[in-house]
Amino acid sequence: MDTRRSLRILAAALGAAGLLVSGCTGGSPTNASSSAPATASVPPVPDGLERYYGQKLKWRDCGVEGFQCATMKAPLDYAEPDGDEIDLAVSRKKATGPGKRIGSLLVNPGGPGGSAIDYLQGYAAIGYPAPVRARYDMVAVDPRGVARSEPVECLTDPQMDTYTQVDQTPDDAAEITGLSSAYERFASGCEKRSGTILPHVSTIETARDMDMLRALLGDEKLHYVGASYGTFLGATYAGLFPGRVGRLVLDGAMDPSLPSVEMNRDQTAGFETAFQSFAADCVKKADCPLGTTSTADAATRLKRLFADLDAHPIETGDSRRLTESLATTGVIAAMYDESAWPQLREALAAAQDGDGSGLLSLSDSYYERQPNGTYANLMFANAAVNCLDLPPAFTDAEDVERAVPGFEKASPVFGRAFAWAALNCAHWPTPPTGTPHRIEAKGAAPIVVVGTTRDPATPYKWAESLAGQLSSGTLLTYSGDGHTAYGRGSDCIDTAINTYLLEGTLPSDGKKCS
Strand partners, 69: 60, 91
401-454 pLDDT, tens digit per residue, is 999 999 999 999 999 999 999 999 999 999 999 999 999 999 999 999 999 999
**Helix H segments across 89-228?**
116-119, 125-127, 130-135, 157-164, 173-194, 203-216
| Mean per-residue pLDDT of the chain | 92
Is 483 labeled as catalytic in the residue annotation?
Answer: yes
Helices (H), 195-282: 203-216, 229-240, 260-282
Q: What is the pTM of this model?
A: 0.92
| Known active-site residue 508 | no
List strand residue ranges (DSSP E) for 9-84, in order. Answer: 60-61, 68-75
Q: Find out whether 448 and 505 touch, Cβ atoms under 8 Å.
A: no
Selecting from 3.40.50.720, 3.30.70.1140, 3.40.50.1820, 1.10.340.30, what CATH number does the domain 3-11+31-152+198-257+435-513 have?
A: 3.40.50.1820
Say which of 104, 149, 180, 228 is annotated catalytic: 228
Is residue 45 predicted with pLDDT exceeding 70?
yes
Determine the Cα–Cα distance for residues 395 and 400; give it in Å rounded to an integer. Answer: 8
Strand 222-227 relative to strand 447-454: parallel, antiparallel, unpaired? unpaired
Domain ranges of the chain: 3-11+31-152+198-257+435-513, 157-196+259-367+393-421
Q: What is the Cα–Cα distance from 312 to 217, expressed in whole angstroms?
A: 55
First and final CA of the chain: distance in angstroms? 31
Contact 246, 457 (CB under 8 A): no
Catalytic residue among 167, 209, 266, 455: 455
The set of residues, in sequence order, having a beta carbon less than 8 Å from that of 432 and lying 6+ positions away, is 387, 388, 389, 390, 391, 392, 425
**Catalytic residue selected from 219, 465, 483, 494:** 483
Alpha carbon 213 to chain centroid, angstroms: 21
Q: How far is residue 383 from each of residues 140, 171, 252, 321, 432, measured CA to CA in Å?
A: 21, 25, 20, 25, 12
Closest CA to 343 of 334, 352, 335, 351: 334
Q: According to the model, what pLDDT value does residue 43 have? A: 52
- Where helices occur in 241-323 by DSSP H, the ranges are 260-282, 295-311
Q: Residue 480: which H helix or E strand, with range?
A: strand 473-481
Among the listed residues 456, 453, 405, the one whose alpha carbon sits nearest the alpha carbon of residue 266 = 456
110-165 residue pLDDT tens: 999 999 999 999 999 989 999 999 999 999 999 999 999 999 999 999 999 999 99
> Per residue in 451-470, pLDDT tens?
999 999 999 999 999 999 99
Using pLDDT thresholds of 50, 70 and 90, give the confidence band for residue 46.
Answer: confident
Cβ-based neighbours of 51, under 8 Å, separated by 6 or more: none
**Chain centroid to CA 405: how far?**
26
User: Mind listing the pLDDT tens digit for each residue in 334-372?
Assistant: 999 999 999 999 999 999 999 999 999 999 999 999 999
Q: How far is CA 465 from the centre of its chain?
A: 18
Beta bridge pairs of residue 225: 107, 249
Gap between the Cα atoms of 108 and 90, Å rounded:
12
